[in-house]
A and B are shown apart, each in its own frame.
Chain A
Amino acid sequence: MIKLIEKIEGEAKLNFSFEKGLIDFVEIEFLSTRNIEKILQNKNALDALVITPRVCGICNHAHLMASVQALESCYEELELSNRAKITRELTLNFEIIHNHFKWFYLTIMPLMGYKQYLLKATQPSQLMAKAIATIAGQYPHTSYSIVGGVVSDIGMMDLIKVENYIDKTLKFFEQNLVYAKSDEFLECNNSNKLLSKEGDLPNLVNKIKDNGWSNVGKSYDRFIAFGENSYFKKGKSIKTRLTTNIYIDKVQEASNINSYAKNVLYKERYYEVGPLSRAMINKTPLIKDSHRKYGDSILSRILARVCEIPQLLNHSKKLIKQLDLSEPSYIKPKIDISDITALGSSAIEASRGTLIHKVNIKNGIIQKYDIITPTQWNLANGTKESLGVSQKAMIGLENTQLAELSFKSFDVCSVCTTH
């Protein structure tokens, strides 16, 4: 039975086979490809900063950040101010937050039978877009982060504006998602306590529990995150066993007969990426508690994603306090990129998980560019013997509605997958 999954920044096909009334295999097929990697070939290295954001309308900023860091890694020596680093982290946080609101209100709520609250998605996500635009000129599709720093020289008044957008977004969270002070929410380490509150998040999660779906969507219980910054940690966690030594060169991309998307594995095993993985690696108390009770289910995934909203808002407020506007935003690299021949790579945490860019430049011209997106990790189309993460999450379910919910709990993005 083939089901067309729509409104995931494009479409995908799920081809289910059933055995004794339960799903026993599902094939994931993405239906198009745009060849961004090929478009990048033979272009000036810096043009990647304009081209790669066009991989995706919803996580364009993450591609910009991955791209600039991959290019910077081509330098043996490059000076970056703290100001530039913090500014980049801020705008990427805002994109992640903007995405999570959209996912919760546009995708997950309607799947659980609620009406789609368009404005609840757009009000806070617009605030976050404004915060990015104040710093970076516009959202989506800015290229304000360049090799050597950021182009903008914002002032104290701009920062005040950004702080107000953050506060307004926090207020939205407290008045809609969970009726509680966000500090209280952040300190909470008991998911049952959270679920006893009112608000769109507890209401939705309780509905999952009432339907008896708390264990739906479990996969390998293996998590990985490569992006590291002042908030996210790098590492992998198998169940709760955490290792921090992981290496990008052990990440493999394997092509896939039935789909345009390539599968991604780490040391020949599939891992989940995204907010739940990050929370497991960061050991976020609330999510660890949910994981203890409900495992790597849709319930934990939803909690983990929404939980990142107040976490990153609060962390961004702290980051703003550390910004020293007397530092330069940009320090011109000593060597022009047209004199650089090197291999570079980067890994950052995007809304949906680890995003990797790899570049090979010769005298400043791109020879080869490789992009590994979060959705490729989660939605790998494996075989019956070796299932991808989301495939495994769908096996054993009794109907395609539940399968779609499990599938979309990974915040699937078709355009990312089909770059």
Chain B
Amino acid sequence: MLSKKLKILWLTAITCNGNTHSFLNYPHLDIFMDTFEFIYHPSIDSAYTLNDIINKEIACDILIIEGSISTEYIKADAPIVDIINKYASKVQKIVTVGTCASFGGMFRESDYKDTTGLHFDKERPTSLFEHIKEKTISLSGCPVHPDIIANTLYSIEKKRAIELDSLLRPKEFFAYTVHNGCTRNEYFEYKIDNHQFGKKEGCMFYDHGCHAPYTHGSCNKILWNEVNSKTRAGLSCMGCTEPTFPKGDFFHTKKNMGIPQYLPFGVAKRTYLTLAGITKAFHIKRLEEDLFDD
């Protein structure tokens, strides 16, 4: 029975373990554990110790990597690069979880030498792991949503083809923008730009740094913890699924002559200006008032 389960090695490098904990929020772990077995995981019990993983030959089907990677980083006395290479050659698929493991992320700035993601340094492709690139799927996010991890693993198990974007991310999750599905969309559409923190109303794009229209992800489609999202709650999207994360200046929209520095994907400055001009020509009382006003 046991041997039929797909074997996963969950390896952590330079990380905060945020993806580990995000994954523990997956609501269907009971059935998940019927199909998969962790030969090692940072908090779930496993049949092997880290020393076993490093020193013995252990069968493995999927390698999960969490955290940014540096040739200098040593885990339990073994260079992380060696551990990755040892398993990468035998597994069917490699999955990077989190923006750190995918693009370098927050810990790209740590003190280790040349800290990057597995195949990318921000969006720039790196060569160190070129030989295993065709096996890799990047699941970016800081952290990545548990559904995205679990459903990607299931599709590997079911041997279904996964369509990836140029950064190796599954299109089904990353072709959307985080803006899709936000409850504040109307305020964005009609360019109501008087948002204040602490309010149900308003869109954070115009003044408060919301990155969602230029961030790929499904946060507002599949929702966090099955209930909410940052932008629905009133917090600007930080763009944490993108290779550029962390851009900095998170609560404030940088503008040049009144035009936001970053525009929604695919929207040219001219288009934006034309639309902005039109929205100036009318007022929508309902959207200028509080939602609960009579």
How far, in whole Å, are A116 and B109 apart by their CA atoms in the complex?
36
With a CB–CB cut-off of 8 A, which chain A residues contact B229? 137-138
Query: Contact at A146–B224, with CB atoms within 8 Å?
Result: no
**B196 interface residue (CB < 8 Å to A):** yes
Interface 1/0 per residue, B209-238 and A, CB below 8 Å = 000000000010000111111111111001
- With A122-B29, A136-B233 known as contacts, the answer to whether A141 contacts B14 (CB < 8 A) is no
- What distance in Å separates the Cβ of A404 from its nearest Cβ neighbour in chain B? 13
Query: Contact at B73–A141, with CB atoms within 8 Å?
Result: no
Query: Contact at B235–A141, with CB atoms within 8 Å?
Result: no
Query: Contact at A119–B14, with CB atoms within 8 Å?
Result: no
- What distance in Å separates the Cβ of A113 from its nearest Cβ neighbour in chain B? 12
With a CB–CB cut-off of 8 A, which chain B residues contact A353? none
How far, in whole Å, are A139 and B18 apart by their CA atoms in the complex?
9
The stretch that binds A, out of B39-47, B86-94, B123-131, is B39-47
Query: Contact at B16–A57, with CB atoms within 8 Å?
Result: yes
Interface residues of A in 210-249 (CB under 8 A from B): none
Interface residues of A in 86-120 (CB under 8 A from B): 102, 106, 110, 115-116, 118-119
With a CB–CB cut-off of 8 A, which chain B residues contact A135? 233
Query: Contact at A106–B106, with CB atoms within 8 Å?
Result: no
**B199 interface residue (CB < 8 Å to A):** yes
Interface residues of A in 318-376 (CB under 8 A from B): 328-332
How far, in whole Å, are A121 and B171 apart by their CA atoms in the complex?
32
How far, in whole Å, are A134 and B232 apart by their CA atoms in the complex?
10
With a CB–CB cut-off of 8 A, which chain A residues contact B25? 122, 125-126, 129, 139
Nearest-CB residue, chain A, relative to B249:
A44
**A382 interface residue (CB < 8 Å to B):** no
With a CB–CB cut-off of 8 A, which chain A residues contact B107? 34, 54
How far, in whole Å, are A135 and B21 apart by their CA atoms in the complex?
19
**B194 interface residue (CB < 8 Å to A):** no
How far, in whole Å, are A39 and B15 apart by their CA atoms in the complex?
14
With a CB–CB cut-off of 8 A, which chain A residues contact B20? 9, 57
With a CB–CB cut-off of 8 A, which chain A residues contact B276? none
Query: Contact at B228–A137, with CB atoms within 8 Å?
Result: yes
**A315 interface residue (CB < 8 Å to B):** no
With a CB–CB cut-off of 8 A, which chain B residues contact A43? 248
- What distance in Å separates the Cβ of B255 from its nearest Cβ neighbour in chain A? 15
How far, in whole Å, are A134 and B197 apart by their CA atoms in the complex?
17
With a CB–CB cut-off of 8 A, which chain A residues contact B250? 44, 46-47, 49-50, 143
> Count the A residues whose beta carbon is within 8 Å of the partner chain — how many?
67
Query: Contact at A4–B17, with CB atoms within 8 Å?
Result: no
Query: Contact at A54–B17, with CB atoms within 8 Å?
Result: no
**A389 interface residue (CB < 8 Å to B):** no
B residues sitting closer than 8 Å to A (CB atoms) are 12, 14-22, 24-27, 29-30, 33, 42-45, 49-51, 73-76, 106-107, 109-111, 142-143, 196-200, 219, 224-235, 238, 240, 246, 248-252
- With A106-B43, A144-B234 known as contacts, the answer to whether A152 contacts B16 (CB < 8 A) is no
Cross-chain contact of A134 among B106, B228, B249 (Cβ < 8 A): B228
- What distance in Å separates the Cβ of A94 from its nearest Cβ neighbour in chain B? 11
Nearest-CB residue, chain B, relative to A84:
B198
Cross-chain contact of B14 among A32, A51, A60, A143 (Cβ < 8 A): A32
- With A118-B33, A152-B234 known as contacts, the answer to whether A330 contacts B18 (CB < 8 A) is no
Query: Contact at A119–B110, with CB atoms within 8 Å?
Result: no
With a CB–CB cut-off of 8 A, which chain B residues contact A102? 24, 43
**A151 interface residue (CB < 8 Å to B):** yes
With a CB–CB cut-off of 8 A, which chain B residues contact A150? 198
- With A55-B16, A143-B235 known as contacts, the answer to whether A50 contacts B246 (CB < 8 A) is yes
- What distance in Å separates the Cβ of B13 from its nearest Cβ neighbour in chain A? 9
With a CB–CB cut-off of 8 A, which chain B residues contact A388? none
- What distance in Å separates the Cβ of B95 from its nearest Cβ neighbour in chain A? 17
- With A44-B248, A126-B25, A144-B235 known as contacts, the answer to whether A153 contacts B200 (CB < 8 A) is yes
Query: Contact at A7–B42, with CB atoms within 8 Å?
Result: yes
Query: Contact at B249–A47, with CB atoms within 8 Å?
Result: yes
How far, in whole Å, are A165 and B251 apart by their CA atoms in the complex?
30
With a CB–CB cut-off of 8 A, which chain B residues contact A332? 196-197
Query: Contact at A148–B24, with CB atoms within 8 Å?
Result: no
- What distance in Å separates the Cβ of B117 from its nearest Cβ neighbour in chain A? 15
